[in-house]
Structure 1
Amino acid sequence: MCNLYTNKSTVAEMADLFKAQAPHGFNAPADVYPGYPGLVIRDHDGARVIEQMTWGFPVRLKGMKPTSKPKPVNNARDDKLLTPFWKHWFTTPAHRCLIPFTAFAEAEGPKGKMTRTWISVADQPTAAWAGLWRPTDEWDDAYTGVMVDATEELFDIHDRMPVILHPDAHETWLRANADEAMKLVTQYPADRLIVDRTDEPWFKPRGS
């Protein structure tokens, strides 16, 4: 599961890299947490646009108070994409999106002393994570990232990893049918990933 990623690219850099329009100004932070805003790229009327959405589909768990904040489901497992919760959004090309990122983080270490391990893509300083988005009553538009089993080399960090798209697969993810899109739900080669184990505490105030 990925519960933190960073996107240090400017909107102008993303617009150029992903050939997308940015019709609005944005104030999304570089570090993105579940339930908070992030930037995505989706297809709209035949053109790519950059939009700000909330990371995580809102879900109310059994027993939650009506006034409590919904739980953000921010990861979609590859083996669950055709289940009722995800199927419509995955099989409808217009509801797939690209999630730009420069690195994603996983927690390592003993409980209470976990630190952040950042993983970036060597051949893509800004890469795209395969995502899904949908409108919601709670948070307006929201998005989630598709996950797959981690490569053997990363398994000691976490057993799952984001579906990182190659640049020539962006158009297929955004526009192809579900069968073609499913072929992209694979592991990114471990030899093209950079692992940076840091002493940053996993839990620290947002924005610090």
Structure 2
Amino acid sequence: MMCNRYNPGERQLILDVIPANGNGAQYNANPDRVHPKEVGPVVRLVDGEMVLERMTWGFPVTLKGSKGQPLAPKPVNNARFDKLGAFWKRWAIDPGNRCLIPTAHFAEAIGPKGKMTEAWLSVPDQPIFAWAGLWSNEDWGLSYTGVMTDNCIEFADIHDRSPVILDPEHWHTWLTAPLADLYQFDRPYPAERMAVERTDIPWVKRKAPGQGPLL
């Protein structure tokens, strides 16, 4: 499974790192973890200004069934880079539908099936890094999805894909450039710039009788 939980970091830290207008995101704190269908912070351009907003993680994408019938929309929280020019083109081709997802750490499941645990990855020299994303304001209101690329070979045991991590000098390019110029970011982020914390925390926590699902 690709990334489906991450820690966005504190609101003020995000604003300290990313020069965005946070007036439209007046809230006390970000959650420690964001899961699909939950709300997280997103930075996008509005009239040329970077603005911090809150949106729901997961695009309402309508797929087709075995007989070609449209199925009920489902939240899709990750977009493969190699499909930006195909499945995701209607959003990716328009710079106005691109965003930065502030991230302090993201998680992946490691270990054998049924015994998977959490591994948390970060970029030590960036307390908040920008994960490349797309956003939309359609059926479910404001929503976003994170763009994924190949993982570095050093982390192949964790997952074969990883979030597209943009260094600060590339933020403007992601938010404004033609789609053809974005493919320079379709590459693994250097392992030597990342840190991994492998934990014994179960990826799927068991729930008590009568309790809702836990992640």
Q: TM-score, normalised by structure 1?
A: 0.89
Query: How much does 1:61 deviate?
Result: 4.5
Is residue 2:166 matched to residue 1:165? yes
Match of 2:75 among 72, 79, 82: 72
Alpha-carbon deviation of 1:92?
0.7
Q: Percent identity?
A: 52
- C-alpha deviations, 1:175-204, integer Å up to 9, x for none? 111122222232210111101100111113
**Are the equivalent residues in 2 in contact too, given 1:28–1:52 (CA < 8 A)?**
no
* Deviation for aligned residue 1:69: 7.5
Which stretch shifts more, 161-170 or 175-184? 175-184
How far, CA to CA, are the matches of 1:80 and 1:90 in structure 2? 10
**Cα distance, 1:118 vs. partner?**
0.5
Residue 58 of structure 2, aligned match among 52, 56, 59: 56
Distance in 1, matches of 2:18 and 2:60, equals 27
1:141 aligns with 2:154: no
| In 2: Cα distance, 1:50 partner to 1:130 partner | 14
- Return the alpha-carbon distance in structure 2 between the equivalents of residues 145 and 40 of structure 1: 10
Q: Is the 1:107–1:202 contact (alpha carbons within 8 Å) kept by the matching residues of 2?
A: yes
1:77 maps to a residue whose letter is: R
Name the SS of the counterpart of 2:147 in structure 1. Answer: strand
Unaligned runs of 5+ in 1: none
Q: Tell whether 2:152 aligns with 1:151.
A: yes
5+ long unaligned stretches in structure 2:
66-70, 208-212
Identify the match of residue 31 of structure 1 among 27, 30, 33. Answer: 33
Q: Secondary structure at the match of 2:22?
A: coil
Residue 84 of structure 2 corresponds to residue 81 of structure 1: yes
Deviation at residue 112 of structure 1 after TM alignment: 2.1
Aligned positions, number: 201
CA distance in 1, matches of 2:58, 2:115: 26
Residue equivalent to 1:188: 189
**CA root-mean-square deviation:** 2.0
The reply to whether residue 115 of structure 1 matches residue 120 of structure 2 is no
Deviation at 1:77, TM superposition (A): 0.6
Report Cα offsets for 1:66-87 as digits up to 9, x if no partner. Answer: xx9842111111111111x310
Give the C-alpha shift of residue 30 in structure 1.
2.3
> What's 2:92 paired with?
90
TM-score (norm 2): 0.87
CA contact (8 A) 2:43 2:100 kept: yes
